[in-house]
């Protein structure tokens, strides 16, 4: 009897587990016209400090963050070579001056003899030529003294503007050459931010355009800024167009080198309204490139299909779609790592 009952039991069917997915429809770029780009703050005027002659640094009054005034002595070289050349030039000038005076006395003597008929015209002309040569040599020696005096001054480094020392590269007793950078002076008072914009937006950016800026180091605050420079040519290193914005109101908390975000607000006609956008959470990447999972079907029966796409710039609404998607298509927006191509899902 137990055997009969056991054989008569029916096995309950197993329930098929269908994964729920969230999705969004592909739509045109619209609504929020804000674009955000990263940049780095810097003072409007940055001066690389260097000596104009070579030598060993014997004095260096430069420290990080030090405030300096225009004309303040920052450094000095030993100037041994320049001083020797200056002394040599002085000796040459004195010698030339003595020769010039001797030539002048000789010219006066020959002139008197010529006027009395005791000297020939050729002797008189020779005396005049000798004097002219001596005068030219003396003038050249004076210019040489002036040049060598400047060379000595080139061994002194003075602050070219008011500002603050941003970096110090050299040390005392270091041998430097002309033009070798030994420090950096932040001489400007205004703060500028350099950033790069893509080709699709550069024509919508104009000089004097107002933007908003925030800094990672200054949370929960935004600053007004204005576009001051828009490059007419592409930067080949970044494949973007360089743009400079300037903070309107100075703030001591903003320092050179701080990371920032610059917010641009574009007008309706400034952007391409035919551009499609896909949510950033819907885009995955593998060795073949970027992809999404298209959701096909209805609530009763739906499947996801892996689909390769080409994307552009990141906007607040998601990635701009360059190729691979059409308006109205549905894409999964969560759990891309666990989805499989052709997998049956339940639309959530």
**Could you tell me the CATH number of the domain that includes residue 104?**
1.10.287
Cα separations in angstroms, 154 against 75, 83, 174, 183: 11, 11, 16, 16
Least confident of 47-61, 119-133, 327-341: 327-341
> Which pLDDT belongs to residue 181?
93
User: Is the pLDDT score of 160 beyond 60?
Assistant: yes
Q: Is residue 147 domain-shared with residue 120, that is, in the same domain?
A: yes
Q: Is residue 256 domain-shared with residue 195, that is, in the same domain?
A: yes
Domain boundary among 270, 287, 308: 270
- On the 0-12 / 13-18 / 19+ scale of CB atoms within 10 A, 171 is exposed
Q: Is residue 145 domain-shared with residue 214, that is, in the same domain?
A: no
Structure tokens at 305: 């299909």
Cα 313–319–305 angle (5° rounding)? 140
User: What digits encode the pLDDT tens for the residues 97-114?
Assistant: 999 999 999 989 998 888
- Distance (Å, whole) CA 168 – CA 74: 11
User: Which residues, in sequence order, are bridge partners of residue 304?
Assistant: 295
> Which pLDDT belongs to residue 272?
54
Q: Is residue 216 domain-shared with residue 259, that is, in the same domain?
A: yes
CATH number of residue 55's parent domain: 2.40.50.100
Question: Which residues in 98-168 belong to E strands, given as ranges?
Answer: 156-158, 163-168
Q: Is residue 53 domain-shared with residue 167, that is, in the same domain?
A: yes
Is the residue at 2 inside a domain? no
Is the residue at 139 inside a domain? yes
Q: Is residue 66 domain-shared with residue 172, that is, in the same domain?
A: yes
Domain boundary among 237, 254, 270: 270
Q: Is residue 89 domain-shared with residue 209, that is, in the same domain?
A: no
Q: Is residue 297 domain-shared with residue 172, that is, in the same domain?
A: no
The DSSP secondary-structure symbol of 301 reads S
Q: Is residue 145 domain-shared with residue 241, that is, in the same domain?
A: no
Q: Is residue 266 domain-shared with residue 199, that is, in the same domain?
A: yes
Is the residue at 181 inside a domain? yes
Is the residue at 292 inside a domain? yes
Instruction: Answer with the residue of higher pLDDT: 263 or 21.
Output: 263
> Which pLDDT belongs to residue 268?
53
Name the residue range of residue 280's domain: 19-31+274-347
Helix %, strand %, coil % of the chain (to 5): 25, 40, 35
User: Is the pLDDT score of 269 beyond 70?
Assistant: no
Band the pLDDT of 191: cuts 50, 70, 90: confident
DSSP per-residue codes, 227-271: EEEE-SS-BTTTTBEEEEEEESS--TT--TT-EEEEEEE--GGGS
Count of structural domains, the chain: 4
State the Cα torsion 87-91-92-94 to the nearest 10°: 140
User: What digits encode the pLDDT tens for the residues 290-331?
Assistant: 898 888 887 778 888 888 888 887 776 778 888 888 888 888
Contact 247, 190 (CB under 8 A): yes
Is the residue at 11 inside a domain? no
What mean pLDDT, rounded, does the chain reach? 84
């Amino acid at each position: 009897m137990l055997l009969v009952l056991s054989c008569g039991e029916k096995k309950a069917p197993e329930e098929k587990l269908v994964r729920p997915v969230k999705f969004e429809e592909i739509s045109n770029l619209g609504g929020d016209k804000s674009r955000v780009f990263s940049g780095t703050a810097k003072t409007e005027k940055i001066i690389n400090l260097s000596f104009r002659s070579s030598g060993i640094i014997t004095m260096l009054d430069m420290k990080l963050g030090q405030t300096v005034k225009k004309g303040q002595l920052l450094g000095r070289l030993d100037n041994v070579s320049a001083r020797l050349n200056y002394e040599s030039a002085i000796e040459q000038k004195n010698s030339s001056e003595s020769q010039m005076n001797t030539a002048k006395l000789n010219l006066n003597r020959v002139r008197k003899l010529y006027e009395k008929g005791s000297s020939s015209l050729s002797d008189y002309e020779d005396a005049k030529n000798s004097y002219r040569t001596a005068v030219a040599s003396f003038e050249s020696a004076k210019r040489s003294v002036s040049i060598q005096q400047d060379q000595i001054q080139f061994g002194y480094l003075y602050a070219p503007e008011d500002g603050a020392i941003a970096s110090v590269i050299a040390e005392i007793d270091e041998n430097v050459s002309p033009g070798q950078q030994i420090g950096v002076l932040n001489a400007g008072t205004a703060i500028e931010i350099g950033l790069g914009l893509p080709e699709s937006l550069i024509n919508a950016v104009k000089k004097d355009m107002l933007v908003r800026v925030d800094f990672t180091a200054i949370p929960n605050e935004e600053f007004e800024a204005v576009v001051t420079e828009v490059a007419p040519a592409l930067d080949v290193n970044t494949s973007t167009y360089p743009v400079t914005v300037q903070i309107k109101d100075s703030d001591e908390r903003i320092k050179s080198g701080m990371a920032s975000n610059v917010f641009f607000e574009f007008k309706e006609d400034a952007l391409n309204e035919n551009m499609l956008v896909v949510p950033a959470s819907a885009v995955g990447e593998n060795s073949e490139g970027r992809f999404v999972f298209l959701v096909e079907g209805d609530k009763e029966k739906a499947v996801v299909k892996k689909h390769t796409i080409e994307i552009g710039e990141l906007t607040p609404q998601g990635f701009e779609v360059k190729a691979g998607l059409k308006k109205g298509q549905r894409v999964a927006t969560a759990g891309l790592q666990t989805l499989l191509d052709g997998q049956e899902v339940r639309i959530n």
